[in-house]
Structure 1
Amino acid sequence: MVGAAMGFELLMATALAIPMALPGCPERCGDVLVPFPFGIGHGCFHEGFNLTCDATHSPPKLFMDDGVEVLDFSLPDGTLRIRSSLLQSFSSEFNGSWFAPSSSTTEIFKLAAARNSFVAYGCNMLVQLVPRRTPGDLSYASICASVCPTMNWGEEFGVSSCSGVACCRTSITPFAGDLPSYDIQVKQLIQQRTHNYLSYGTGTAAFIVDQDWFIRNEAEILPHFRVTGNRGEMVKNLSVHNLGIPAVLEWSLDLIRDEGLFLLAPIGPGSSDFRCLSSNSFSFSTDGTYDRRRCNSQGYEGNPYINDGCQGVITGIAISAGFGLLFSLLGVAKITRKLKHQRAMKLRQKFFRRNHGLLLQQLISSNKDIAERLKIFSLEELEQATNKFDQNRILGGGGHGTVYKGILADQRVVAIKKSKIVVQREINEFINEVVILSQTNHRNVVKLFGCCLETEVPLLVYEFISNGTLTYHLHGQSENPLSWKDRLRIALEIARAIAYLHSAASISVFHRDIKCANILLTDALTVKVSDFGASRSISIDETGILTAIQGTHGYLDPEYYYTSRLTEKSDVYSFGVILAELLTRIKPVFPSHSSEVTSLASYFMSEIRENHLLDILDQQIVEEGGTEVAEVVARLAEACLRLKGEERPTMRQVETRLEDAQRSKVNSQINRTDQISSNVQLYTRSKGGEGTRQYSLEKEFIHSSEIPR
């Protein structure tokens, strides 16, 4: 063991001896390691990467030329963290800007969109992050809304997380990210009082922040923005320097290839001085150009941007200590692997307990039917099924996670959902989805085979659905557009699944996120409703529940949005949007002629009231001779899209109407629809009246983006 201790000491000494800065240049400023191409002082940095170490602070602090403080660097990732700017005001509406540090050359520094979140604190507000250089038709990079139930929300409502009540957080659209500057726009939402739910204007603070840092420090940040008193003033010091909010930037460095070697670009204008890169490194691309470099992963560490900067750690030890020490290290490595395995097992057990594994085991053991359908997989089983989550196995994904294709030991093909974000709310959503799907059994609801609880973020294992989403077939590049007959059958199968969830399952389930992206299709175009993370189950005698607002822009029930009261009619509204999509092949949110974002729901209702169905009906339906049935379905969609939930039909009624429509009983269907119309005011042809007034609220509502989940 003495030899092992000496081996570790020499290993550390060798690692510490690896150069990170150019010879003769300072490697640190206070607690921050400064690697080349960054540098402090003349001749120590590549052009545009010069920094200043301010020793008047204790410990000294590192700054860029424009005064932005640098917190740390990551050479392998090509990123650095800076102290982010914070925008705050006590006005109800205002605009501001966020800039990455400037450079005297080109746009070296850009926001790393995937690594940051957009956060805003305040009440009754809609906050948008708008890229100054808009890619394509995109008008915003992030958008979120926040309201407050009471004036003293911090104490009375028990707010402890950023989930749409007094605070909202959202990811930054990746294809709008990686830009050096953004505008921040704050607008006040409509003021109204619904039951005991109060919305009002108050001070606002908005900022871009390292999402990992924010998740860890969310609870500590919240008191700085707590609203108290009759004026709704934010208390405490909101200075960004006191809060220490970091943001992650990417930096790029021009590289050129010369006779098979990668070299840095000239150090200065007109200079012929090139710095050689370490031979034990490789270049890779982030945007089509070779602007990143790393040390070879096989035993090399250090700085790949300086000559001989990547050094072999084990080789250095062997040279300095000889073969005897190497044999000692082999013994140490064996012990280290064993200790590492033991730590990994303890960590998996910790995750299993934190992810409610014991509770789920009890649920499975107490119900034979669930035990036959649901299995708790080990991490090794899923790693083997996905070839250790190989990139080539990725089926798709988004801001919340990635879906992998896997093959289990029994040769079943499955889809494995692996989330990215680690917050307790999303872990609770996972458990919620497991409990709901374990108790449902319907041919049009996706089957859950099991889950894995041994990772920080739990993994879900579903049946593999091979033909993509309804969104792809309606709005994607599918070579075989859906026929009107298929669309009508798909609508009926979705309605059957939702009606089953509402009234035929062992417990009533409100899905809360019905949308085309959550409707999967098999090769035979059979519907599979998926994604129950936001769903809520209630007892049979309940008619609704008060919840934090969750859903997707374009599909979200306005009544639920304004009252926070979730009922079965909220799913009915979302289904009405899907019916409108099937009839028109128009996306749920689209830019209008005035370049403003328009809701399909409000546009569809307006056109139907003006008797313009044929103007918006998908031409393929007309060509297939389906206009009569389409009119019946359109009237049904209008009924589902009524702003008052009590005026909408139930999903059982919707299912029955669609069954009649599929059998082409047009006359009887119209008569039945007209009969319902007298009770629930299904259909009006007036151009004004209550419907028009109500949809003025819709105009306010459609400016919000995806509600936080």
Structure 2
Amino acid sequence: MVLVIQLLLLICLSKTKPAVSSANTLPGCQDSCGGVPIPYPFGIGRNCSMSEDFELSCNATNNNEFAPHMLGNIMILNISLSLGQARINSPVSYQCYNKTTKQVDNNTNWKFNLQDSPYRFDHKKNKFVVIGCDTLAYVNISDNKNFYLGGCVSGCYSPKSLIDGSCSGIGCCQTSIPKGTNQIDFWFDDNFNGSEVYNFSPCGYAMLIEEKGFTFNKDYITTDKLVDKNMSAVIDWAIGNTMCGIARTDKTSFACRSDNSICLNSSSGPGYLCNCKKGYQGNPYLEGGCRDIDECANQSQCFKPGKCHNLPGSYKCTCPFGWRNRSDNLRECELNLALLLGICAGIVGLSFLGLGTYVMLERRNLSKVKEKYFQQHGGWVLLEKIKSNQGFGFTIFTRQQIEEATKNFDSANIIGFGGHGTVYKGIIRDQIIAIKKCKIVDESKKKEFGKEMLILSQINHKNIVKLLGCCLEVEVPMLVYEFIPNGTLSDYIHKKQGSSISLANRLRIAQESAEALAYLHFSASPPIFHGDVKSTNILLDQNYTSKVSDFGASILVPTDEAQFVTLVQGTRGYLDPKYMQSCQLTNKSDVYSFGVVLLELLTRKPVIDVHAPEEERSLSCRFLLAMKEKKLQDLLDDEIKLEDDMEVIMTVAELAKECLNMKGEERPTMKEVAEELDRIRKIKQNPWGQEYHSKDKELLLGEVSHNIVIGHTDYFSMDKEAAESIAAGR
């Protein structure tokens, strides 16, 4: 057991290494004090510095923290070997007027004496600064040969005249110090004691500071925050009093010890400095102190595809096979054309052969895919119809035509996003068109798509966007419509808030849209249910005539009632509640959605307000509640409330209320809605019509009035007496 313990102790002792000093200090010497690194030729304690001039002490400060000190009491903040500089603590001298004793309290014990040392104050980085509104301070300067007396006066009448960052004499002034300065002290002029300005400027200050680290602040004038504060100043240092040429002759005293060091003459006075050569870093005052820099650690040294190789004091970039270093920039590589030309010549022939084969196969595959999609979507049926009917205004576009028209579906050509696809603006044969790129197509409708295009293409109504053609060579067919330039009704209502929209224009747009939907329901063969009526699907042409668009959700009315059941689709806020419950789309579903559009025209409010309370988020719910509580005026757009047309507006509101009836069978048809809107417009256009409407509103809104309109299409073209006579007879 004893032998085992002894063996373990021997192993532990053999692995114990002596403490190694920092590479910037002599072995066994303290390498820092208070967090400040102490590089050689500086050192703490005897035999740790180059000479007594560079011997530092590690003393406690007023804050009970340790810091390095030079020449007894000058505290060092940091040391730079490469610049030959050190940053030192620079106390602020002050004088403050005591309004109680009417005396001046001051601290002017600022005096630095660097004579007979390798140190001097840097004349470029330091400034003598005076702060105060009634302050004059003098500075006494010496450079061993000459003595200088300078001063700086600072004044101001009130804090309002002070400017942060400005040290030009108002509250703050500064002056330079001469080159080679090694002794400075300064004092205040007693005649400038602050007795006239103590109420807003209690103190004056004088200091030698590093200009870069100082910015004047107005608070320095109005408070005493600079009292007992320390700033920083910069001192230069150098080795000896000779230049490099002479210093090198004495090998024993020459300070540049590292093999990879260079000697530089001091720019601030006699003496010299040592630096590491380019490509090396470390301490040039120590043997082996300058170490090679691994330039290749920086990945940007060599431009790709070059590879970096570190060399002593340098690096080089090598290029891979087929490349060579550029003659004008060895960090970059260029192709070795002479080498690659022969290789490329052999590859080109094979590449062309392979490419030709690939293109041929791809074209064949693409052609098969196009033909497959074309057939799936009923393209042959549609094509035969077009060929057999020369007057048939419908075109089957190729995929290439569509891609060229939209610049390969460039996002800059997007003019709208629908619930069923994206709409692009394009140009084909100098005609501006709108191309709808659908997201999905119902698998059950693929074979019937061509037939449906035949039907939709025959829709010809002035208030319905004309379907010009389609593209069937893609997985999801694309539809081509006439281009409508003035955007959507939604944009016109909501995004142009502040623009004027008269009641007459609103009624016109509503009637035109209603006539378009009535045409789809009653005149198209077979009838068509739109399925997604909303303000974004009503476009406005150059004359602001309404055009119903986006039949992405539309269905052709089937003969089999069971086929009415369809997947619920549409837009939140416009959806027929009964359709949501039964999944059965009817013509009354479009009526409900149109009723919501009427509300938008009356109120210019969003259909869904996500910021409103839950029970008021839906515009239709808010409207029905307002009608019930007879508070419709609170919901109306201010612009039409100012018009003297409240009876007309109430009539439109009642019509909207009928359209929003929860029982679909009790809603009017779109034909009845269109006729009612036509009648309301005529009332609006004829003053006597408004008067008559006021007399018997119930008659105009009721079934009797509706029968008059249906039975006598020229009712409003009659004179007033004839009209009243017919109404009375009914």
- Please report the TM-score for the alignment, with normalisation by the length of structure 1: 0.48
Larger RCO: Structure 1 or Structure 2 (Cα < 8 Å, ≥ 6 residues apart)? 1
